[in-house]
Amino acid sequence: MLERGAMIGFEFRRMVMLFSMKDGENEIPCAISNHAMDQMEQVPWTKDDLREEQFLRLRDRIEQCASRKFQNGGPFEGKPPGIVLRSIDFRE
Protein backbone atom coordinates (compact mmCIF):
# COMPACT_ATOMS: atom_id res chain seq x y z
CA MET A 1 0.00 0.00 0.00
CA LEU A 2 1.37 3.39 -0.98
CA GLU A 3 1.46 6.28 1.45
CA ARG A 4 0.70 9.95 0.89
CA GLY A 5 3.44 11.98 -0.73
CA ALA A 6 3.44 15.59 -1.88
CA MET A 7 0.98 17.69 -3.84
CA ILE A 8 3.15 19.24 -6.56
CA GLY A 9 0.61 21.35 -8.44
CA PHE A 10 -1.42 21.74 -11.60
CA GLU A 11 0.46 21.47 -14.89
CA PHE A 12 -1.45 23.60 -17.39
CA ARG A 13 0.37 22.25 -20.46
CA ARG A 14 -0.72 18.65 -19.81
CA MET A 15 -3.93 19.54 -17.90
CA VAL A 16 -3.02 17.27 -14.98
CA MET A 17 -2.54 17.65 -11.25
CA LEU A 18 0.89 16.36 -10.27
CA PHE A 19 1.43 14.65 -6.93
CA SER A 20 3.52 11.86 -5.50
CA MET A 21 3.03 8.73 -3.44
CA LYS A 22 5.57 6.90 -1.28
CA ASP A 23 6.51 3.23 -1.49
CA GLY A 24 8.74 3.05 1.56
CA GLU A 25 11.63 5.38 0.74
CA ASN A 26 10.79 5.48 -2.99
CA GLU A 27 8.79 8.42 -4.29
CA ILE A 28 6.39 7.51 -7.10
CA PRO A 29 5.45 10.37 -9.48
CA CYS A 30 1.70 10.56 -10.09
CA ALA A 31 -0.76 12.64 -12.07
CA ILE A 32 -4.52 12.84 -12.44
CA SER A 33 -6.26 14.42 -15.42
CA ASN A 34 -8.47 17.44 -14.90
CA HIS A 35 -11.23 15.53 -16.72
CA ALA A 36 -11.05 12.68 -14.18
CA MET A 37 -11.41 15.11 -11.27
CA ASP A 38 -14.36 16.84 -12.95
CA GLN A 39 -16.01 13.46 -13.57
CA MET A 40 -15.55 12.52 -9.92
CA GLU A 41 -17.34 15.70 -8.83
CA GLN A 42 -19.85 15.50 -11.70
CA VAL A 43 -19.12 19.04 -12.88
CA PRO A 44 -18.65 20.15 -16.50
CA TRP A 45 -15.44 22.15 -15.94
CA THR A 46 -13.43 23.52 -13.04
CA LYS A 47 -11.40 26.71 -13.46
CA ASP A 48 -7.66 26.07 -13.57
CA ASP A 49 -7.00 28.25 -10.54
CA LEU A 50 -9.35 26.03 -8.48
CA ARG A 51 -7.67 22.74 -9.39
CA GLU A 52 -5.55 22.51 -6.24
CA GLU A 53 -8.64 22.96 -4.04
CA GLN A 54 -10.43 20.32 -6.10
CA PHE A 55 -7.53 17.90 -5.70
CA LEU A 56 -7.52 18.40 -1.93
CA ARG A 57 -11.27 17.64 -1.73
CA LEU A 58 -10.77 14.44 -3.74
CA ARG A 59 -7.31 13.52 -2.43
CA ASP A 60 -8.30 10.43 -0.42
CA ARG A 61 -10.15 8.83 -3.37
CA ILE A 62 -7.38 9.79 -5.80
CA GLU A 63 -4.65 8.33 -3.60
CA GLN A 64 -6.64 5.12 -3.04
CA CYS A 65 -6.95 4.72 -6.81
CA ALA A 66 -3.23 5.43 -7.36
CA SER A 67 -2.33 2.88 -4.70
CA ARG A 68 -4.63 0.26 -6.27
CA LYS A 69 -3.16 0.89 -9.73
CA PHE A 70 0.36 0.56 -8.28
CA GLN A 71 -0.52 -2.71 -6.50
CA ASN A 72 -1.97 -4.06 -9.77
CA GLY A 73 1.31 -3.38 -11.56
CA GLY A 74 0.49 -0.23 -13.49
CA PRO A 75 0.75 0.53 -16.31
CA PHE A 76 3.42 3.09 -15.51
CA GLU A 77 3.98 6.01 -17.88
CA GLY A 78 6.50 8.77 -18.49
CA LYS A 79 10.08 9.40 -17.50
CA PRO A 80 10.59 8.62 -14.72
CA PRO A 81 7.83 5.99 -14.84
CA GLY A 82 4.82 6.95 -12.76
CA ILE A 83 1.08 6.53 -12.32
CA VAL A 84 -1.31 8.55 -14.47
CA LEU A 85 -4.97 8.43 -13.45
CA ARG A 86 -7.74 9.04 -15.95
CA SER A 87 -11.53 8.88 -15.76
CA ILE A 88 -11.50 5.20 -16.70
CA ASP A 89 -9.51 4.38 -13.55
CA PHE A 90 -12.45 5.50 -11.38
CA ARG A 91 -15.18 3.51 -13.13
CA GLU A 92 -16.65 0.81 -10.95
The CATH number assigned to the domain holding 60 equals 3.30.160.140
Q: Which domain holds residue 81?
A: 3-90
Amino acid 74: pLDDT: 84
DSSP-derived 3-state class of residue 17 = strand
Question: Looking at the chain, how many residues does it have?
Answer: 92
All residue ranges of the chain with pLDDT < 50 are none
How many domains are contained in the chain? 1
Sign of torsion over alpha carbons 47, 52, 57, 63 = positive
Amino acid 80: pLDDT: 85
